[in-house]
Every structure is written in structure tokens, then in C-alpha cells.
Structure 1
């Protein structure tokens, strides 16, 4: 993780930034799957948190070795996004960078959906599932998210992204096909 590239969304009157970020990130996901890349990570340096401001920001930062980032760029995965994004140069990570994990978080946020699922799976009555799953189970998620389409299932879903605490030393490890890891860190600056 000694190099990075920033991809910044351009303002667009027809498409809001979260929609464009979803398209950009979905394309990156497909490219990482194609490359079988487990050594490329991402971060969202301008993300916002909070119930009312769960926005990924306008910058997608891709981290990795310089040659791996160049290989990724050579796949042409940005085709169709060039009008909507500015692709920066591949730069070395600043010496003073700290590190943090960037990982996926999943939440059980909808009590009604959980109840319907339990009724189907366990053949329980509505009364039984209301007792088992109270309204208080719902969580108010404050993390930024991106709407993506899975390359394996084709389903669209909200990918909630959590930036872990800052730490002084990097942790080596593998990244998934979304450029996320619960243990490996990326530089943060």
C-alpha cells in the first residue's frame, strides 16, 4: 500500500454524486473481480457520517502498489465514467500518513422485514415474531453507504462502509473484491 490514485466525481446536473459514486464503485468492483485482486484497497477521504449525512463523498481513493494500480487502470474499467470523473496520477503515499481499516458493515435495520423473514423461515405467527423481534431492534445507521450491484448475484444493495480508528502502523492482509478488509489497513491522509 505504498501508492494511491484519487478519482474525483465532477458535478453533474443530471446525476447526484451518490448515484455516480455507485456507478463508479460498481465498475471498480467488477474490475477487481476480473483481476482477482486481493491487494488493492479503497478509502473515501471525503465521506460524511451521521443519520442525515451518510454520503460517501466525491472522491474514491484506490490504494496499492504502483504496478497494481497501473494494471487496474489498464483494464479500461473507467470506460463510460471519464465524463463524470477526474482520474488523478498515481502518487506515493505521504510519509506522514496514518493507517486505518476500511471495511463493510452490515446492519439489521428493518424490524418488519426481519419479522416477515422469520415467519417464512420458522413458520411462526405474527404475534410470535412481534414478541421475538421488538421495534427496538432497528438501528439508525450513521455510516456512509454506496448503492452497488454485486457481480456474483447481480443484486443491488447498500454497501455500508466503516473507516476504523487511525493507527500508526500498517496491518498487512487481503482485501475483498470491493477493496475492503476488516483487518488490513490503508494509508489515511
Structure 2
């Protein structure tokens, strides 16, 4: 996927800054964005970033508690090949009250190619259901589902509600370092698939 432009959407917490409130609002914002992604699939790719404000808060947490803060993010960075694709996305979501009240909605900006310092691939991390559980066991006879549940604890995620069925589900994101952009295209969540890998620039 060619990523020539990007758009930053920063999630704003309500009064009383807590990670729980940030996560709750972020989930709702992502549900709105995912709905727009579905109307134009394979056009938008999602990266997760952290603002200077949240980064400073996490550093304060480390100083106060002597341990790392749980991984968190408050910026949804969306990439596209063309500027008008991001402009179309902005038009589709800017009227939603959650976007108006709880985000700082940016504009489409060219990717600063001279500042690219690496590449990261954002993929959906899947946990098999008990029914679909594979028989693969670790050396300690631990089922694959249990191993993946443990691994998922330290990964960013969204709790999304389907606009068509009303059912809730979790989208866990696996972030991998990559050597280049790759040839793949994003799914309706803005994420790379195993069979269609791609990566996004870090700058």
C-alpha cells in the first residue's frame, strides 16, 4: 500500500483524567471511524500514536509507582494514498457528536518522507475460540488459546460494537517492526492481514 498522506485524530478525555475514561472514549471514537472504513475498504490504514501530554503522564506514573505504565495511546493516525481519500473520511465523521466533542480532528498532511525512521506493521491479533482451539501445546502443555490470552494482555486493543448486529467484540492490535512498506492492503479495521502484509512509516 502506498501511504502518501496521513491524518491525526487525537482523543480527548472527559473531566478527571484516567486511563479508563480514555479507553472508553477511544473505543467509541474507533467504532465511528471503523464504520467509515467499511464504506471504503482497503483505502485506510491505522497506526497508534501517543501525544506528548500522555507520554508525560506515563513518565510520572513510572516515577510515582516504580513500574512501567500499561501501554496506552491517544492518537489514531490514519494513512491513505490520496489526500482526497482522507478528506472524504473527514467529511464522513466530522458531524458525529463524539468526534466533535471528544477529538481534535486534524487535516490531511503529506507524509514527511525525509523524516521516516522506520516501519511498523499493525495487525489484528487473534485468539482462537474454545470451540476452534487448536491442539498445539507448548512444552508445558499449555493450550494455544491460553498462551495467546497471556500475550494479549500487553497489547493495545479496541472494544467495538457492531453497527449491524449490535454485538460487542475486541480488536487486539499486534505491532511488529518491519523493514519496508510491503505490498498488502488494510482490512476494514485499517489493519494488515497475515496474507496481505504491509507496514506504515514511523516519523
Q: Is the 8 A contact 1:51 1:142 kept in 2?
A: no
RMSD over equivalenced CA pairs, Å: 3.1
Q: How does 1:98-113 map to 2 (within 5 A)?
A: 98-107=118-127
Cα distance change on mapping 1:17 and 1:38 into 2, 3 Å: same
Going by fraction, where is helix more abundant, 1 or 2?
Answer: 2
CA shift for structure 1 position 24: 0.7
**Structure 2-normalised TM-score?**
0.70
Q: Runs of 5+ in structure 2 lacking a partner?
A: 56-66, 133-140
1:176 aligns with 2:187: yes
Structure 2: distance between partners of 1:134 and 1:59 = 32
Aligned length: 167
Match for residue 7 of structure 1? 9
Q: Deviations over 1:22-50 (max 9, x none)?
A: 011101111111x23212101101299x9
Judged with a 3 Å threshold, the aligned counterparts in structure 2 of structure 1 residues 46 and 38 are, in CA distance, closer, same or farther, namely same
> d(CA) in 1 for partners of 2:158 and 2:124?
11
Structure 2 SS opposite 1:7:
strand
Q: What corresponds to 1:91 in structure 2?
A: 109
Structure 1: any 5+ residue segments left out of the alignment?
119-130
Change (3 A) 1:82 1:101: same
